[in-house]
């Protein structure tokens, strides 16, 4: 089964003790094919129903100058969801850690320039797509985004809400017809899914925007998002699954945007975003010189 093959690839380091490398080592990177999970949810990789990016923040990147001076920065990465592969997160951590004791460049600036060039080249070759990277200054202001999204729990009576499904259940979603199109900006701050290999929990906030004459009933949406609590998928897969389920119940030309800002684990967070081709995304999310502000992210 392809599913087992994917898990086997992903488990090269996940759930296993490994020492990594004390010197720069690009061979540590493990690419994971996206196709298996997409096929399971009838997402055609050759004709994706969305655009989007995977954005990563590595908060603990460090290397050395040739004089042995430590250089530490936040690293921001992004690559397009149209790529055949995604990068396995523990392999990325091991790869980035391999820079820790590696001497590169006479000055801090030269060290960062060399690291940036190597990271973009290595990841682009592994994923067979263009990967962009940038180091954020340690004093950079974290950018709070999606300020106009309202917590979906404000629209439901939690005392009367009964949650019973904890495996992904799209049948929970219900809509009602409206007289005119309306914009909806919703946030759910209690998303939980689980790593498909280690089964460790992943927490995050999910942001959903849609413009439609159909209103997704908020109570049904809360129940649906809660149903991921016992699902085992990569972050990117969860985002795509949610997008696909919502697009299935909306009209074909409706605008839809789904973004998951996951809490960092092991010094790295993964923030996938998917949107319909007629929908725009906030610039702050994709700019490589800013760091987004997540619920449990670093504040300075």
Which residues are designated catalytic? Answer: 195, 202
Contacts of 41 (CB under 8 A, 6+ apart): 240, 241, 244
Structure tokens at 260: 């998951």
Give CA–CA dist 121/125, Å, rounded: 6
Give CA–CA dist 161/256, Å, rounded: 26
The beta-strand segments (E) located in 114-263 are 131-136, 142-143, 150-151, 175-194, 201-216, 255-262
Give CA–CA dist 124/132, Å, rounded: 8
Beta-carbon count within 10 A of 162 CB: 6
Is the CB of residue 244 less than 8 Å from the CB of residue 42? Answer: yes
Give CA–CA dist 144/140, Å, rounded: 12
Measured in degrees and rounded to the nearest 5, phi and psi for residue 286 equal -100, -15
- Rg over CA atoms, the chain: 20
């Amino acid at each position: 089964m392809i599913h087992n093959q994917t898990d086997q690839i992903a488990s090269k380091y996940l759930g296993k003790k490994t020492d990594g490398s004390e010197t720069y080592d690009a061979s540590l990177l493990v690419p994971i094919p996206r196709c298996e999970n997409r096929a399971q949810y009838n997402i055609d990789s050759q004709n994706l129903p969305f655009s989007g990016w995977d954005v990563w923040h590595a908060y603990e990147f460090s290397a050395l100058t040739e004089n042995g001076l430590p250089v530490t920065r936040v690293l921001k990465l992004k690559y397009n969801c149209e790529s055949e592969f995604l990068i396995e997160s523990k392999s990325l951590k091991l790869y980035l850690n391999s820079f820790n004791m590696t001497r590169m460049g006479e000055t801090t600036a030269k060290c960062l320039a060399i690291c940036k060039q190597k990271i973009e080249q290595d990841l682009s070759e592994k994923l067979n797509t263009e990967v962009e990277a940038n180091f954020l200054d340690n004093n950079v202001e974290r950018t709070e985004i999606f300020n106009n999204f309202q917590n979906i729990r404000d629209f439901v009576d939690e005392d009367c809400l009964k949650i019973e499904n904890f495996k992904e259940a799209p049948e929970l979603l219900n809509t009602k017809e409206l007289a005119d199109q309306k914009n909806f900006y919703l946030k759910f701050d209690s998303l939980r899914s689980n790593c498909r290999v280690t089964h460790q929990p992943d927490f995050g906030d999910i942001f959903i925007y849609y413009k439609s004459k159909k209103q997704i009933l908020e109570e049904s949406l809360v129940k649906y998002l809660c149903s991921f609590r016992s699902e085992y998928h990569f972050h990117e897969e969860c985002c795509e699954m949610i997008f696909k389920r919502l697009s299935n119940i909306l009209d074909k030309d409706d605008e839809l945007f789904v973004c998951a800002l996951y809490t960092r684990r092991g010094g790295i967070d993964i923030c996938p975003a998917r949107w319909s081709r007629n929908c725009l995304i906030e610039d702050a999310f994709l700019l490589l010189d800013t760091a987004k502000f997540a619920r449990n992210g670093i504040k300075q």
